[in-house]
Chain A
């Protein structure tokens, strides 16, 4: 079985300051991990993905995430927040290639940017 925990339901940062959205996972296999973003009244968009290549993954809009197996974490970061980053962010875990389990979503982190 697999699970994913987003440690903060709501994060607020000032514009221009760093962003950190935390995600921990549990999986029986070597997982694939993803971050999705959902802007208000919009669909879900893939930000970045980790699939057992480089542990530091760069995504769109300046976001990146680092896969740390020893800590079972996949935290999302951005050096400098922009107003347009205000959205809901979901961490997702997918099992390794021999599993038959569904994608598992975290409960989401709502990011608010303070002007």
Chain B
């Protein structure tokens, strides 16, 4: 597609349930990022993929959070046993990539998934 696509756009789940958030990056973009933004707050880094590998997953808040990326394209962020503090907008971004002599370009953001845990 033309831009970064995230689904679902909104998700309401009960505390304790698992959720999966999906990100379709721009075709050809090798770098993919997940961020979290709580109400009125800045961006909290979660994880970064370069291709299918994650050089930096230092931002994942707990072992309930995991992410994978397959085929160097689609990524899924999974939150197990959701808690109310997980409620936030989860943003995905992609860029052409880093390393191997590539000039870094800007990241393009999806519209986010608004997660509400009740």
Contacts and interface: CB of A to CB of B under 8 A. Distances in A.
Q: Summarize B's interface: helix, strand, loop or mixed.
A: loop
Nearest to B49: A102
A98 to B, nearest CB: 7
Interface string B82-118: 0000000001010100111111111111111000000
Contacts of A92: 107
Contacts of B105: 32, 49, 51
A97 B102 contact: yes
A81 to B, nearest CB: 22
B104 to A, nearest CB: 4
B45 interface: yes
A100 B42 contact: no
B99 A105 contact: no
B98 A44 contact: no
A97 B103 CA distance: 5
Interface residues on B, range: 20 to 34
Contacts of A103: 33, 48, 93, 95, 107
Nearest to A105: B43
A2 to B, nearest CB: 11
Interface string B22-57: 000000000001010000001101001010000110
Contacts of B43: 90, 105, 108
B114 to A, nearest CB: 10
5 contacts: A88-B42, A92-B107, A100-B50, A102-B55, A103-B107
A-B pairs with lowest CB-CB distance, top 4: A102-B48, A108-B42, A94-B104, A44-B109
